[in-house]
Structure 1
Amino acid sequence: MIQTIGFIGVGLIGSSLARLAVDAGYKVVLSNSREPASLERMVELLGGENVASADTPQNICSNDNIKLVVLTVPLNVIPSLIPALGGLKDKIVVDTNNYYPHRDGHVEALDSRKLNTAEYVAQYLDKSAKQIKVFNNIWAIHIQPAASRDSTNQTYLPVAGDDVEAKGLVREFVKSIGFGTVDAGSLRDSWKIEPNTPVYCKPYAPVLPEGLTEQEAVRYFGSHAAAPLTEGELVLLVSAATGNEPVGGVFDPNSISSRAMINNYAH
């Protein structure tokens, strides 16, 4: 049974998942690009050393007691970071990555669809690593408000990967922290859950009540999620992807979603 989760990257996605993992009874080990001391406050907020600690990415990767690692860093650091970590050898890697050209720079293999984002990341992983794609199709600010450990009221997320056993373990983890899951196929199939596809982010976003001011709308969007997305609804959305969607996500600093994420990150 997986008891400790390692995190490489603790931005909005990593910190949200760490919170849910601790609440579900896991221990977490956090790391970022700086020294572990930079995460002392986050460790404290998660409940202190009994449930959370900070370490280096290198130590997480060499720790045999950490089998599952959440990799949630910008795609543009993957080519240098993963080789420096030994390819995350023997780890089950929860890959939350998306391709955003405005942030990552243009990558020809992705722009031309020679590879999807998961396949691009896989190039840098050790062959022993088991890569599972999940949490990339929901805005980070909606992870916590969408989560529910009530199995009768869970929103569903797609999970893609090639290793059956690893996919099963990740689905158990995702279920335990508050989400139902649907098998979205192989890593090759994971283009169906990338930016601009029908299942990307919007199905998890709340409908704004009428009469809100602009600031109230930003706060509401950042603290609420849509009604639970059912298993059947998710299956239909994944199957509706055509492959003709534009490649890569975009950033509109004036959109409610972007402003809500900036606001949450600042706090």
Structure 2
Amino acid sequence: MTQTVGFIGVGLIGSNLARLAVDAGYRVVISNSKEPASLSKTVEDLGGEKVVSADTAENIAKNNDIKLVIVTVPLHVIPSLIPAIGGLKDKIVIDTNNYYPLRDGHIDVLDYRKLTTAEYVAQYLDKSAKQIKVFNNIWAIHIQPAANRDPASQTCLPVSGDDDEAKKIVRKFVENIGFATIDACSLKDSWRTEPNTPVYCKPYAPMLPEGLSEQEAVRYFGSHAAAPLSEDRVRTLISTATENEPVGGIFDPNSISSRASALASSQNR
């Protein structure tokens, strides 16, 4: 039986992961903050109704055939959305979130490191949900170009969580869609993979060839990824993270990553 994966949120991260999941043989059910009919073009773009369907987040949460749910909504949406759909009871939840104060508003427990972002999200999940954090340390635009289903040439992503069995299931999914993985750390230590740490995004970004125009550089950055990152390299980067860096990511609309993401978003509509 084909495994079905649910998606709550299909922005750049969600749509890229959904495409990889379909390519790897999974069936996917996608949702956004609007009516399912608003996703008809996305359904077609991802492969059509034989492999993709649109539904509400509430129905995904209630569907007993969907055991794995990927949550890719902004952090500030979590406190209202997740309790409203029942806390994703009995689901394995892939949490891709990071904290961006300019987007999410300042959250004291995060600003003062009383909780990690993952622990903050966990407050709103049902106690039966198994939360695993991954895909939060790679820019969405690099998910597609970095993915490779050949195990010999996969780039490595860290996977954080407290439930060993759920972590094993998520790692298998991540590997099936194109990435090597390591068991990185607990949710309490998952700050080591978040903004301003050595393993966050930059190691997965390509080096720009010389001589590109500004527009060419933006396009190249958004369509290429760095050479595959080894498991040993990821472990080393995680181990060198410190709590001396600022908490939370910063949006710079003029940065090449932001401009490449904006271009990809416009093309994805």
Instruction: Specify the TM-score bucket, using the shorter chain as the normaliser.
Output: over 0.9
* Residue of structure 2 in register with 1:29 after alignment: 29
* Residue of structure 2 in register with 1:87 after alignment: 87
Helix, strand or coil at the partner of 2:160? strand
Q: 1:245: Cα distance to partner?
A: 1.5
- In the alignment, is residue 220 of structure 1 matched against residue 213 of structure 2? no
Helix, strand or coil at the partner of 2:94? strand
Letter in 2 for 1:239: S
Please give the alpha-carbon distance, in whole angstroms, between the structure 1 residues aligned to 2:50 and 2:189. Answer: 39
* Residue of structure 2 in register with 1:248 after alignment: 248
CA RMSD of aligned residues (A): 0.8
* Residue of structure 2 in register with 1:172 after alignment: 172
Please give the alpha-carbon distance, in whole angstroms, between the structure 2 residues aligned to 1:215 and 1:203. Answer: 22
Q: Contact between 1:36 and 1:54, CA under 8 Å: does it hold in 2?
A: yes
Helix, strand or coil at the partner of 1:86? coil
Please give the alpha-carbon distance, in whole angstroms, between the structure 1 residues aligned to 2:77 and 2:148. Answer: 32
Letter in 1 for 2:202: K
* Residue of structure 1 in register with 2:118 after alignment: 118
Helix, strand or coil at the partner of 2:87? helix
* Residue of structure 1 in register with 2:229 after alignment: 229
Listed one character per residue, the Cα deviations across residues 212-254 of structure 1 (whole Å, up to 9, x for unaligned) are: 0000000000000000001111010011101111100001111
Q: Contact between 1:2 and 1:67, CA under 8 Å: does it hold in 2?
A: no
Helix, strand or coil at the partner of 1:143? helix
Q: 1:2: Cα distance to partner?
A: 7.1
Q: State the 4+ residue runs in structure 1 displaced beyond 3 angstroms.
A: none
Q: Contact between 1:57 and 1:85, CA under 8 Å: does it hold in 2?
A: yes
* Residue of structure 2 in register with 1:40 after alignment: 40
* Residue of structure 1 in register with 2:193 after alignment: 193
* Residue of structure 2 in register with 1:140 after alignment: 140
Please give the alpha-carbon distance, in whole angstroms, between the structure 1 residues aligned to 2:77 and 2:11. Answer: 14
Please give the alpha-carbon distance, in whole angstroms, between the structure 2 residues aligned to 1:229 and 1:246. Answer: 25
* Residue of structure 2 in register with 1:57 after alignment: 57
Helix, strand or coil at the partner of 2:165? helix
Please give the alpha-carbon distance, in whole angstroms, between the structure 2 residues aligned to 1:57 and 1:160. Answer: 24
**Alignment coverage as a number of residue pairs:** 267
Going from structure 1 to structure 2, the CA distance change for 1:81 and 1:185 (only over 3 Å counts) comes to same
Identity across the alignment (%) = 75
Q: 1:47: Cα distance to partner?
A: 1.1
Please give the alpha-carbon distance, in whole angstroms, between the structure 2 residues aligned to 1:214 and 1:134. Answer: 31
Letter in 2 for 1:224: H
Q: Which runs of 5+ in 1 are unaligned?
A: none
Helix, strand or coil at the partner of 1:87? coil
Q: Contact between 2:2 and 2:27, CA under 8 Å: does it hold in 1?
A: no
Helix, strand or coil at the partner of 2:189? helix
Please give the alpha-carbon distance, in whole angstroms, between the structure 1 residues aligned to 2:2 and 2:33. Answer: 25
- In the alignment, is residue 160 of structure 1 matched against residue 146 of structure 2? no
